[in-house]
Chain A
């Protein structure tokens, strides 16, 4: 073998790739770079970024019951939950404060997995950069609350399964309540 032939063989490969990048389809060796701000790749359904809170009707009635389970299970402890009290200091089943420090959050998705009320889910919104680390990266309840339709929009398959499960649980609860009421009425 002539000395230097290995280099020329390698250069032939780069030449082939150069030509292919112009004349082939992306999946077949062509250019597959997407120039980001102008064009975007569709976000995959399973993708997870930062958590958000789900509400069904209005923002005043979130699904979250301030049970504090997500805050306890969060590995880097980035969630702060404070329960709301009414005028008579009676604890209510909703949070007064729900803060997520996204500069600490590591996108693991454990809060979503442990939540017993289907209240917290991982978002798809990845453009959350901010020049201010102190204020803008601490998400408050108002920033986190998003309607159930939003979840349906970003994760259609998951949302369908979740809603089916919730409906079934509700029907079961209703049936149990009716059975209990029937029992009460016939002593």
Chain B
């Protein structure tokens, strides 16, 4: 029991209640603990506690070859293995100045955008689950997600732990039949989004629960160095696909959806709009996909012998716009087959730091949907 007393409206002395929300709670999206002080049902203070899923990712990467870290990056944000691979491949390619053939670049963009669809669908589904729309939206979303995961399995060998990217290209080529499947999926996707919109967007319960809840001001978002849809929902136009123009993103025509208020509803709706933009990018990428190699010829010997791959002494920071925000990998090489230092800038970890500012003053039930709308994956927070 928290000993500080609070005077309520009727001037009766009441006590605040201290509870541990999690770590084994289905609404915390993993093993995450919120240390909450409540006055009645209103949150007085909230401290996120994490580290339960710490797996020593960075230290392990410093003791194995560069390529051997690739499957480990899959397990950071386990919903988006492809984009995790993407960031790491980009960092090491920068470090060793490796060029990537155009077809591989296109395939990378296609995989990254499909991953964005997977992530946003899972997020919206589970956010609605937290709201109490029990399993209807999440199952509609998972029906579509399943089609994409089946494609990932056909192309990379695994549904979620793809391990598809290699330094200087991708692991295996995509056949024409698989491309036709992707095309079919992309063409059918807007219909699903429209259905989702009819199901949810105007729903009065959703609007009442989400609008004006957990408002994040643009100033706080920038000061806390948030990135991704959480930042853009507050109206700050910052997307690494436009800012950095890494890989081939300068070739595609797409827009950055922004929110007006920065409340939970905006964070939900920005992601719906982002899915529309992803479909646009996918259409252009599928149209422009050239024939050719999927691996840089110079890097082929290192696939057979990762131990011989020794990037020159130096450091590099590769960053991408992952579905959750800026995912960066900092790699320092001392000329040996193992990185001397390896660091991950995880968007989930940095985005969750504003949780207290968003939650204080709201009810305990709102804390759950605010946490859901921030979109964290504990595999990435704790690493």
A5–B201 CA distance with the chains assembled, in angstroms: 12
Residue from B68, B206, B304 in contact with A75 in the complex, judged by beta carbons closer than 8 Å: B68
A46 touching B198 by the CB < 8 A rule? no
Residue from B71, B72, B158, B205 in contact with A7 in the complex, judged by beta carbons closer than 8 Å: B205
B204 touching A7 by the CB < 8 A rule? yes
Contacts A6-B204, A7-B203, A9-B198; A114 near B306 (Cβ below 8 A): yes
Closest-by-CB residue of A relative to B139 is A17
Closest-by-CB residue of A relative to B194 is A13
What 0/1 pattern do residues 1 to 44 of A give for CB contact below 8 A with B? 10111110110111001000000000000001000000000001
Of the candidate stretches B149-157, B258-266, B322-330, B366-374, the one touching chain A is: B149-157
Residue from B64, B154, B202 in contact with A9 in the complex, judged by beta carbons closer than 8 Å: B202
6 closest cross-chain pairs (CB), A and B: A6-B202, A108-B71, A75-B68, A48-B157, A46-B157, A13-B199
A-B contact count (CB 8 A): 81
Residue from A6, A44, A74, A108 in contact with B203 in the complex, judged by beta carbons closer than 8 Å: A6
Residue from A9, A12, A73 in contact with B68 in the complex, judged by beta carbons closer than 8 Å: A73
A116 touching B205 by the CB < 8 A rule? no
B304 touching A5 by the CB < 8 A rule? no
A75 touching B72 by the CB < 8 A rule? yes
Interface residue ranges of A25-72 to B (CB < 8 Å): 32, 44-48, 69, 72
Residue from A17, A47, A108, A113 in contact with B303 in the complex, judged by beta carbons closer than 8 Å: A113
A73 touching B306 by the CB < 8 A rule? yes
A108 touching B200 by the CB < 8 A rule? no
A45–B175 CA distance with the chains assembled, in angstroms: 13
A72 touching B71 by the CB < 8 A rule? no
Contacts A7-B205, A75-B68, A109-B163; A114 near B304 (Cβ below 8 A): yes
A122 touching B157 by the CB < 8 A rule? yes
A67–B201 CA distance with the chains assembled, in angstroms: 60
* Residues of chain A with a CB closer than 8 A to B305's CB: 69, 114
| 29 A–B contacts, CB within 8 A, in A order | A1-B202, A3-B204, A6-B204, A9-B199, A9-B202, A10-B199, A10-B200, A12-B198, A13-B198, A32-B143, A44-B153, A46-B154, A48-B157, A72-B307, A73-B68, A73-B307, A75-B64, A75-B69, A75-B71, A75-B72, A106-B75, A107-B161, A108-B70, A110-B67, A110-B163, A110-B306, A113-B303, A114-B304, A114-B306
* Residues of chain B with a CB closer than 8 A to A73's CB: 65, 68, 306-307
* Residues of chain B with a CB closer than 8 A to A14's CB: 136, 199
A14–B307 CA distance with the chains assembled, in angstroms: 54
Q: How large is the interface on B (under 10, 10 to 19, 20 to 34, 35 or more residues)?
A: 35 or more
Please name 7 further chain A to chain B contacts, defined as beta carbons within 8 Å, in addition to the given A6-B201, A14-B199, A106-B71, sorted by A numbering. A4-B204, A6-B204, A46-B156, A47-B158, A48-B157, A72-B307, A75-B71
What 0/1 pattern do residues 135 to 165 of B give for CB contact below 8 A with A? 0100010010000001001111110010100
Interface residue ranges of B182-197 to A (CB < 8 Å): 195
A72–B307 CA distance with the chains assembled, in angstroms: 9
Cβ of B306 to closest chain A Cβ, rounded Å = 6
Chain B residues proximal to chain A, CB less than 8 Å: 64-65, 67-72, 75, 136, 140, 143, 150, 153-158, 161, 163, 172, 195, 198-207, 303-307
A65–B282 CA distance with the chains assembled, in angstroms: 45
Cβ of A71 to closest chain B Cβ, rounded Å = 12
Contacts A17-B140, A48-B158, A116-B304; A110 near B71 (Cβ below 8 A): yes
* Residues of chain A with a CB closer than 8 A to B143's CB: 32
Residue from A46, A108, A122 in contact with B155 in the complex, judged by beta carbons closer than 8 Å: A46
Closest-by-CB residue of A relative to B143 is A32
A6–B154 CA distance with the chains assembled, in angstroms: 39
Closest-by-CB residue of B relative to A108 is B71
Closest-by-CB residue of A relative to B154 is A44
Cβ of A85 to closest chain B Cβ, rounded Å = 26
* Residues of chain B with a CB closer than 8 A to A5's CB: 202
Cβ of A100 to closest chain B Cβ, rounded Å = 16
A75–B165 CA distance with the chains assembled, in angstroms: 16
* Residues of chain A with a CB closer than 8 A to B70's CB: 108
B158 touching A6 by the CB < 8 A rule? no
A3–B205 CA distance with the chains assembled, in angstroms: 10
Cβ of A113 to closest chain B Cβ, rounded Å = 6
Contacts A7-B205, A46-B154, A73-B65; A106 near B200 (Cβ below 8 A): no
